[in-house]
Structure 1
């Protein structure tokens, strides 16, 4: 029976991924309905905390975008990227990583990818090198961000054993080491641009050749008056979350027996609730001080992307959690001995599931509780946290598709066999090295 249920779960994920957008969410609900009505499975708790975090963080990021703060940050990043064009393969991923760590979502990098592609092309550096590892770096940034839904989910699962600063002091250096490894393997990846037959064929078109070397930095409209102020407010909010995570005694305690969605069994306010409170309060302050309207926020591209993510995670995680809850005994028996002998093998399961779910938060919420059940040490689970970034394996994630579309030279591609694409090698290397570095740092720290 478990195999039939598992095949249904896989079918929902594959069909939902092909539908894109909210497809994962609605297909997850279809299978969950069958689980409940046909197999009489008891539904697990829906991922309310993860959904609310995504909604809160994305709403605040969209408010920052509507106030002009995002454009201000992009212009600062553009100066960095254009200052050393010969180092674009290194600077590109570092900039996208910092942006994601700061904002808690990889969707913030859409404005950076065309700049990275243009700088590389003008310098005649193969854009694939910079774009592929930059996308991977933006994904790894989610597992090093203090305000991402994935980080909050893991802190909640490991509550009482790992704090936010404890997680960040392992994940930030580990993911950076992984990114540098990805940069190393991409530094000379593929043919030089001036030797690439696809690019040379495109250059035969005079209009294309002229556009390649044309400076696209046209006169831009001045930034809104509150752009810089919105960045300051957002930055203060992120710092406040880190401070509260470092010093939880700053918050009131309500005593045992007062638990609910916002308060744990010991009477402490959950980290997820802290992120939601601080982020939405910051959004309100930005709207008030920077003269940004709710309508502008709701129409921002980041808000739309976040709404789709919430629906997707709602369905697919609820379905997956119900399957895991019903079959925990069988799964634990199958994986238990292997994981107890070699804890790092659990990272393979995290990687495979994330490749199917297209979400770090969904993977964390669905599978990390099993790691607790299997007795994996909290420090080892933090070390394996970067493994939830397998969403690049099947090239359907929006950031991958955006990078391919922004590369006008055609060097960034999806291969004939679907998985032999530009992001596979830097992704496997970066995540593998990040997990290995995480285990080393967990042992040392």
Structure 2
């Protein structure tokens, strides 16, 4: 019976992935209806905390975008990228990584990808090299960000055994080393543009050649652009401080755990992120004179809304499957994982390939790791393994990078999985996990 249920779940994920947008969410609900009404499975709790975090963070990022703060950050990033164009394969991924680390979502990097492509082409560096690892770096930034939904889910699922500082101390250096490994494999990836027959053929078209040399002009920044970045940055800093010093928060009488307060009477980290980020959004709207309508129309707000629906359906579906079959799954994986805990990272990676979400994977599978008795330090070390969403090239950041590459060097292969992001992604994630175990041994 478990295999029939697994096949239904897998079919829902695959169909939803092809639908894109909110497809994963609605197809997850279809499978959940089958689980509940046909198989009589008890529904798990929906991922309310993860959804609320995404809504809060994305709403604040959208306020930043509407106030012009995103334009200001992009211009700062462009100065860095253009200062050393020959190092674009190194600078590109670290800029996208820092953006994601700062904002908690990889969707914030869309405006950086065309700049990375443009600098690469003008220096005649194959854009595939910089774009592929830049996208992977943005994804890894999610598992090192203090305000990402995945990080908050990781903390909330550990029953107080993992705090924010544990994740930051281990995952930031681990993912940086992983990115450097990805940069190394991309440094000479593919043919140089000057030797690429496909590019040389395109250059025979005068219009195409002229288009490559055009640098776009920017409109003047909005008056509140810099202030909005300051407000957003202070909000992130406050969250990090609260994570480092929980005593800054009030505590209450122990009792039943809820969405905001745990059984010990402490305010949950997820609630802190939601409170601080939405308060920051209010600050941006008030002091930067940004209208609520402009925030709702921002592209980041739309992307966040789609992510919430997707996670709602697919995590609720997978959590219900796990709840109904937890004993069988623990029996199948228990001995192997206890003997070699690192093998659990393979399960995390494979599930993230299907769910297209770090937060969804964390919420769905990390409780199993806790139930199997994997030490918290190892779970944090394996946290970067939830970045397998690049394997099937359907994630928006991958498709955006492919579309922005005017030379066509960044591509999806004939066999679907032999695409530009596969090798740098596998290397970066694998090295990040290995480095995570190393730093867990030092900092835990």
TM-score (norm 2): 0.99
**2:216 corresponds to which residue?**
217
Distance in 1 (CA, whole Å) between partners of 2:22 and 2:216 is 35
Secondary structure, counterpart of 1:384 in structure 2: helix
Given candidates 274, 277, 286, the residue that maps to 1:276 is 274
Q: CA deviation at 1:258?
A: 4.5
**1:82 corresponds to which residue?**
82
Secondary structure, counterpart of 2:359 in structure 1: helix
The correspondence of residues 61-210 of structure 1 with structure 2, limited to 5 A, is 61-210=61-210
Distance in 2 (CA, whole Å) between partners of 1:346 and 1:221 is 49
Distance in 2 (CA, whole Å) between partners of 1:42 and 1:392 is 32
Distance in 2 (CA, whole Å) between partners of 1:108 and 1:94 is 14
1:167-207 deviation line (CA, Å, top 9, x unaligned): 10000000000000000000000101111111111111111
Distance in 1 (CA, whole Å) between partners of 2:258 and 2:434 is 37
1:243-264 deviation line (CA, Å, top 9, x unaligned): 0011111111112115321100
Secondary structure, counterpart of 1:391 in structure 2: coil
The correspondence of residues 236-251 of structure 1 with structure 2, limited to 5 A, is 236-251=234-249
Q: Which moved more, 1:155-164 or 1:104-113?
A: 155-164
Distance in 2 (CA, whole Å) between partners of 1:436 and 1:259 is 35
1:94-142 deviation line (CA, Å, top 9, x unaligned): 0000000000000000000000000000100000000000000000000
**2:326 corresponds to which residue?**
328
Structural RMSD (CA) = 0.6
Given candidates 425, 428, 431, the residue that maps to 1:430 is 428
1:379-426 deviation line (CA, Å, top 9, x unaligned): 000000000000000000000000001100110000000000000000
**1:26 corresponds to which residue?**
26
Secondary structure, counterpart of 2:96 in structure 1: helix
Distance in 1 (CA, whole Å) between partners of 2:19 and 2:162 is 37
**1:314 corresponds to which residue?**
312
1:60-102 deviation line (CA, Å, top 9, x unaligned): 0000000000000000000000000000000000000000000
Given candidates 401, 413, 423, the residue that maps to 1:403 is 401
1:223-254 deviation line (CA, Å, top 9, x unaligned): 11110000000000000000001111111111
Distance in 1 (CA, whole Å) between partners of 2:181 and 2:28 is 36
Distance in 2 (CA, whole Å) between partners of 1:431 and 1:349 is 13
TM-score (norm 1): 0.99
Runs of 4+ in 1 over 2 A off after TM superposition: none
Distance in 1 (CA, whole Å) between partners of 2:285 and 2:27 is 36
**1:352 corresponds to which residue?**
350
Q: CA deviation at 1:14?
A: 0.1
Q: CA deviation at 1:283?
A: 0.2
Consecutive unaligned residues in structure 2, runs of 5 or more: none
How many residue pairs are counted as aligned between the two chains?
A: 443
Secondary structure, counterpart of 1:390 in structure 2: coil
Given candidates 365, 370, 373, the residue that maps to 2:371 is 373
**1:295 corresponds to which residue?**
293
Distance in 2 (CA, whole Å) between partners of 1:362 and 1:288 is 33
**1:256 corresponds to which residue?**
254
Q: CA deviation at 1:217?
A: 3.2
Q: CA deviation at 1:159?
A: 3.2
Consecutive unaligned residues in structure 1, runs of 5 or more: none
Secondary structure, counterpart of 1:414 in structure 2: coil
Secondary structure, counterpart of 1:10 in structure 2: helix
